[in-house]
Amino acid sequence: MNKNRRKVLLIYTGGTIGMVFDEKLKTLVPVNFDKLNSYISYIDQMPIDIRHISFENPIDSSNILPKHWVKLVDIIEKHYIEYDGFLILHGTDTMAYTASALSFLLENLNKPVILTGSQLPLDMIRTDGRDNLIAALEIASAYKDDLPIVPEVAIYFENKLFRGNRTSKFNAENFDAFYSGNYPVLAQVGVHIKYYTEYINKPTNKPLKVYKKLDNSVGLIKIYPGMPIKILEDILYDKDLKLVILETFGTGNAPTYDEFLKPIKKAIEDKKVILNITQCKAGKVELGRYATSLSLENLGVISGADMTVESAITKSMFVLGNFTDKNQIIRLLQTSLRGEMTDNE
Ligand code: ASP
């Protein structure tokens, strides 16, 4: 490796970017990195030392599991000193979950961990993967005065860099597939890469701390008018769940009739944590703003403020996996740990 060049470790997990059309199955399937290599030989021309590592069996990201997040943490931990930045190639479907999970599992991160992928495979002429890959590599290797410009987990897609735990996939058709409704973009790519440093985490001197535990005893209920109460009861009374996320209306509102509130009350009495996030793509839960959220607050439901559902789920798994004291769990859920939420006032 050239000593003056930045070193980036490219971690290939699968996803459309590395898929090809299987004539027999008549569908897109992930291929291994060696097959992919011929489509991305151009990255050798970049002034960066790039090494790659690949999941043994690349996956469609719909098959991602917490164990894969831990595997990514293991890889980053093992190579943290050696590399200046990390680029994860990942399917778009669950990229926001992986980015959110990694942000919680990597505390005091002081190097870029960038995720990207594409809507069309790299072997297609009109692919968006090529541009995403090249710009994401540049961002993963970007340093100024020997300090990383983006020392955080971020998603790069179609000219924009987003904070990973603020991002959701919102479009399955357009190349412009990701969205961050409650936090500004971290960088915009055009002729130049314009970094909005005021929104990017500052480099830290603290040593990296990695976590490898996630507890998936987390339930999720998206409420809707006319929802059968049995759905609420089935999840809220499930003995294997420690925490249930309620995706509510607007600023955290839900029906106030007894039949709806009763299972919530009982679950809280049974020591479950109930976390309220909004179904809206921007804005936040403000418990007590309306009577329809005051009733939830009075029962002991806590506010997830403006967290995305991806962040709320992965943060819940992280907090349950690594902390045992219920008051601490409740406090952490309502506090911004990695810039994933606007703190509850
Ligand atoms: N199903 C694919 C995946 O998430 C979609 C994509 O990569 O865009 O792995």
Q: Which of 13, 29, 57, 60 to probe ligand 1 with, by most ligand atoms within 8 A of CB?
A: 60
pLDDT band at residue 31 under the 50/70/90 scheme? confident
Residue owning the nearest CA to atom 8 of ligand 1: 92
Cα separation of 187 and 53, whole Å?
A: 26
Alpha-carbon distances of 180 from 51, 62, 164, 295, 341, rounded to whole Å: 30, 21, 9, 29, 12
- Least Cα distance to 277 among 316, 241, 321 occurs for 316
Q: Is the pLDDT of residue 345 over 80?
A: no
Residue 313 corresponds to which amino acid?
I
Please give the number of the atom of ligand 1 that sits closest to the Cα of 119: 8
pLDDT tens digit string along 155-214?
999 999 999 999 999 999 999 999 999 999 999 999 999 999 999 999 999 999 999 999
Please give the number of the atom of ligand 1 that sits closest to the Cα of 19: 7
Provide the mean pLDDT of the chain.
95
13 close to ligand 1 (CB < 6 Angstrom):
no
Residue at 1 is within a domain: no
Cα separation of 188 and 191, whole Å?
A: 10
92 close to ligand 1 (CB < 6 Angstrom):
yes
| Domain ranges, residue 137 | 6-210
Residue at 304 is within a domain: yes
Domain boundary among 182, 210, 238: 210
Residue at 75 is within a domain: yes
Rounded mean pLDDT, 4-16: 94
Q: Is the pLDDT of residue 1 over 60?
A: no
Beta strands in 25-149 (DSSP E): 27-30, 49-59, 85-89, 106-107, 113-116, 143-144, 147-148
Same domain, 39 and 103: yes
Residue at 200 is within a domain: yes
pLDDT band at residue 2 under the 50/70/90 scheme? low
Dihedral (CA of 256, 235, 267, 211) sign: negative
Query: Could you give the number of structural domains in the chain?
Result: 2
Q: For this structure, is 16 an active site residue? A: yes
pLDDT tens digit string along 124-167?
999 999 999 999 999 999 999 999 999 999 999 999 999 999 99
Domain boundary among 192, 210, 228: 210
Domain boundary among 178, 193, 210: 210
Q: Which of 16, 92, 94, 167 is catalytic?
A: 16
The pLDDT assigned to 21 comes to: 85
Cα separation of 120 and 298, whole Å?
A: 48
Q: Is the pTM of this model over 0.85?
A: yes
pLDDT band at residue 322 under the 50/70/90 scheme? very high
Q: Under the phi-then-psi rule, with left for phi > 0, alpha for psi from -120 to 50, and beta for the rest, what region is 333?
A: alpha
Q: Is the pLDDT of residue 60 over 60?
A: yes
Residue at 268 is within a domain: yes
Dihedral (CA of 181, 183, 184, 185) sign: negative
pLDDT band at residue 344 under the 50/70/90 scheme? low
Q: What is the CATH number of the domain that holds 315?
A: 3.40.50.40
The pLDDT assigned to 38 comes to: 78
Cα separation of 171 and 295, whole Å?
A: 34
